Amino acid sequence: MASNFTQSLSANRAGCAGCYLRHFCLSADLNDAETEIFSSHIVSQRRVPKGEILFRAGDPLDTLFITRLGSFKSSVLNENGSEQVTDFHMTGEVLGAEAIPTGYHICTVTALEDSEICSLRYRELEALCDRDPKIARQFRLLLGRKIVAAHQNLLILGCTNSTQLLASFLLNLARKFEARGFSKSEFVLRMTRGELGSFLGLKLETVSRTLTHFDELNLIEINQRHVRIINLEGLKAVAKESGRAKRKTSQE
């Protein structure tokens, strides 16, 4: 017997079945026939050139986006009008979900490189979740991953100095690449060092100096934005110093 999901939707237009991120996305729990039908409700799959703004803080929530290729940054404006980077987003991540509680976006999202996104109208997605528990479950999982990622960011930002901040950030990035089937030891930083410093609360000069220091310690090799981790355990040891320092402080 066909599921409610299969009965309620129409023909395929977008083609999710062959997407390498299917296991990360809303169609992960669907069979092939259901996936083809679900694809018909993808509003668009389009390219987003580097530097293009996907949505701005204050825009009403109309569409949720899933990063199919590339990467993005979230940012807000400080009181002095300068940009504060609040997060970085990789393939498979939902963009725009922070607007669900209020109906309005609280940050601006910009492409860090030539990227590609899939779009779903939020009201249509709500209706799909009401019709089929498989879609509802996957949507909850996607939102749950956002919460886990936010928790990981808090752990990184709770580090006590620049070396621990950068080491923790690189390790977290490596885990994300590995989860997506890419190398965990060799990757490209799509953000500028200034954007990375904004996210971590460090000056650009401090970011550059610390990355160079890691290179000199043979923890990583870095060439422009290309990073190769050559001593994973050593990098982990640098990051763990944060936890030991915190425990010592709490015991005093």
pLDDT of residue 164: 95
pLDDT of residue 43: 66
pLDDT of residue 80: 87
Closest alpha carbon to 240 in 177, 151, 160: 160
pLDDT of residue 44: 76
Give every residue of the chain whose pLDDT is below 50, as ranges: 1-14, 242-252
* Rounded-to-integer distance, Cα 56 and Cα 166, Å: 28
pLDDT of residue 222: 95
